[in-house]
Structure 1
Amino acid sequence: MTVAIYVPLLLALTLAASARWIAARGTPGPAARALTAIAAITAAASTWSLALLALTMLDDLPPLAALDDHATVELPEPVPGPVALVAGLAMLAGGVRLWLDVRRRSTTHRQLRAAGTARQGLVVADWSAPLAVAVPGLPGRDGHLLVTTGILRLLDAEERRVVLAHEQAHLAHAHHRIVAVAAAAAALNPLLIPVRETVAYLVERWADEAAAAAVGDRDLTAQAVARAALATLGPGPAAALGIHGSAAVHRVQALTEPTPAPRRRRLIGPVLLGSGCVTAIIVATVEFVALARAWL
């Protein structure tokens, strides 16, 4: 097997290194979607690479192992045994991380839904902790917004309108799904953790821009984002879901500037990375099939 099987791992590093550069230009919505899609492709490709590497350990199992000492039969040795073993363990660890992340998100969603019955898409919980979060609905049901009395006391009427518009944007654009896919990719391949963090930031910026458009005042939005984001920093349900007040300073700074213009050319790089991953994994799979035929 050639270097093609390792290419998805190398491209994951490239995507992680370029994620912030991509996020800093153009509108946040297309960047969030593109980064998430390419991260998912990269994670799937790198996991498949690990699986192919791990499967090369099959030549150490009977009856193939018995042929190693056969004088007239020489089986191809694709990768060293330790490399295949490490690949198998890495794939197993990725599966465990993915399961833990899915369970944590499911538990958090369940706890948020139990906070109260929504009326006109809103639940106001009598909690002192400042919190505003979009709660996804169950399959076939609409989600709702959850705000606490703590956050309502902190903000004035206009700022509340901004926060509600911000959270409604999370719900309307299914940001929880985008963040969950990026988190799943990072669970399978930890090299993609910077991409996961960048996507979490981008969906916040996306919701900020939607709120600014809804209220028609970027300065008011910046003020509300600053107060709400700083108040809700730290561990909690929103942080557990990856949709929270991270990078508040950068978000506020972006809102003090004009509305960003689309720059789709910046997405050419991620698309090329995804195409490279797909091509590499096809080549690696063809090589593994040829190897398996030689064994059999």
Structure 2
Amino acid sequence: MILLVWAPFLIPFLAAPAARRLADALPPRPASWVLGATGVVLAGASAASLGLLAAAGLLRIPAVAALAHISLPWLDEASPTAMVLATLAATALVVAGVLTLHTAHQQYSDLRRARAALGPCTEAGGDDGHPLAVLDDDRADAYALPGRPGRIVVTAGMLRALPAPERAALLAHERAHLTARHHLFLAAAEYAAVLHPALRRLRAPLGFHLERWADECAAREVGDRAVTARAVGRAALAAARTPHPARPLLAPAATAGPVPRRVAALLSPHPRTGRRRRVAAALALAACLTVSTAATAAATRDLHHTVESAQLAAGGR
């Protein structure tokens, strides 16, 4: 088990670059799913491996060994270094758990603070059940605030900065974020980054592809890619002129990310991507995910077999 359990810790360093390359070769929606799912699977496998290492050490506690009817001398002989590794794994697991809870609390607090900060504002019913909250603020800002219900938040300054067709595209963009629940992708990426440092490299590309996903939805809704591209560019320029308050991490905004790349993608909707590159990246990522999950499953079976062998040794004495 000791050898197998290391694979989920090492694989993310190879899988993250492969996922990024594959995402760049895909349309925005599947690209976002690839990045999000990769982070969840690899983070789950690494957390499970930490749990297996910690469990192997837990079995060496006399009270636990007596309760499970296993032979401690047999365990010590079979794996003399397991207790040291288990102590390190348990420490890492506790730290990861604390950081995960802290991240969840911070996300919840940010969203709650943002909703409270809306204060008195003009609010109107929106499409798909997402109200539109208009802030009386000269600064240009707009974002999708998740919640029950999710709200499209826009300032008066942003509305004045855009002509009517571009305002419609901007609101369609933010509405797409709420409809597709993009905040869940962002939250999952944050948790994955907490559980494994290599997965931090997925956060920025995931944010970009989520914005591209919303861009494409807005372009389809307004029926004009050029108008959507102008709306994204003009909104980003307007927002850059005046500082805006820090918005929650889980509140995506049309002005976020590499705006020039997004505008170029809207104006060139069918970029050519080499099929070989796409297939190679997909095969590499599939191999990484398969090895990681298979190693975790094999390590779980190995631990179960070890427990059974230790129980037989205890019964044979």
**Is the Cα–Cα contact under 8 Å of residues 18 and 282 in structure 2 kept in the other structure?**
no
For 2:250, the equivalent position in structure 1 comes to 241
**Is the Cα–Cα contact under 8 Å of residues 169 and 210 in structure 1 kept in the other structure?**
yes
Structure 1 counterpart SS, 2:42:
helix
1:91 CA drift (Å): 1.7
1:123 CA drift (Å): 0.6
* Distance of 1:270 and 1:73 partners within structure 2: 36
**Is the Cα–Cα contact under 8 Å of residues 19 and 198 in structure 1 kept in the other structure?**
no
For 1:14, the equivalent position in structure 2 comes to 14
CA RMSD of aligned residues (A): 2.9
The answer to whether 1:119 aligns with 2:124 is yes
**Is the Cα–Cα contact under 8 Å of residues 36 and 181 in structure 1 kept in the other structure?**
yes
What amino acid is the match of 2:210? V
Q: Where in structure 1 do 4 or more consecutive aligned residues deviate above 6 Å?
A: 232-235, 261-264
From 135, 138, 150, the counterpart of 2:145: 135
1:285 CA drift (Å): 0.4
Matches within 5 A, 1:143-162: 143-162=150-169
1:28 CA drift (Å): 0.8
1:22 CA drift (Å): 1.8
1:191 CA drift (Å): 1.6
For 1:44, the equivalent position in structure 2 comes to 44
1:147 CA drift (Å): 0.7
For 1:284, the equivalent position in structure 2 comes to 299
For 2:205, the equivalent position in structure 1 comes to 198
The answer to whether 1:226 aligns with 2:226 is no
Using the aligned pairs only, state the percent identity: 35
Structure 1 unaligned segments of length 5 or more: list them: none
What amino acid is the match of 2:196? N
**Is the Cα–Cα contact under 8 Å of residues 16 and 192 in structure 1 kept in the other structure?**
yes
Bigger Rg over Cα: 2
> How many residues end up aligned between the 2 structures?
289
What amino acid is the match of 2:124? R
TM-score, scaled to structure 1: 0.85
**Is the Cα–Cα contact under 8 Å of residues 143 and 251 in structure 2 kept in the other structure?**
no
**Is the Cα–Cα contact under 8 Å of residues 53 and 79 in structure 1 kept in the other structure?**
no
**Is the Cα–Cα contact under 8 Å of residues 134 and 171 in structure 1 kept in the other structure?**
yes
* Distance of 1:90 and 1:14 partners within structure 2: 21
